[in-house]
Structure 1
Amino acid sequence: MSTNLSKAGRPASLSVRQAAWVLGVPTSTVHRAIRVGTLRATRRRSRLVVHPADLARLLGGAR
């Protein structure tokens, strides 16, 4: 059995509050970015979550 552990320790998704902390902005700014389409988010159990790769894209990191 082969497993890819390159992403071990990374969260699968971040809450809006966590994304705001990473970006250093208020949660309202993250909600606005999601609403206007600058930041993609999905619903998980009725909560908005942000994928870490989308945050990295927004910050100009990994593509």
Structure 2
Amino acid sequence: MRTSLPSSGYTVRQAAWLLGVEPPTLYRAVRLGRLPLVRRRGRFVIPANVLVRLLDEPRSGGTP
């Protein structure tokens, strides 16, 4: 089954779940300017294209 990302974006809580991190980690990244948060349809969301880029990046640390 193929799923697609919503074009409007993800809430911080949804994005944190997808990335496997806690929401405060993403809020910190937003506050530091490392992650964009935009207002779409009256809600603050992380754009889907940003999330795709983050999911495509290899994780740092761990075993190669």
Q: Provide the TM-score with structure 1 as the length reference.
A: 0.68
Superposed, 1:1-63 pairs within 5 Å as 9-12=4-7, 13-44=9-40, 45=42, 47-59=43-55, 60=57
Runs (5+) with no aligned partner, structure 1? 1-7
RMSD: 2.0
Which portions of structure 1, spanning 4 or more consecutive aligned residues, are displaced by more than 6 angstroms? none
Runs (5+) with no aligned partner, structure 2? 59-64
Q: Relative to total residues, which structure has the larger strand share, 1 or 2?
A: 1
Q: Provide the TM-score with structure 2 as the length reference.
A: 0.67
Identity, % of aligned positions = 45
Aligned length: 53
Alpha-carbon distance change, 9 to 23 in structure 1, aligned in 2, over 3 angstroms: closer
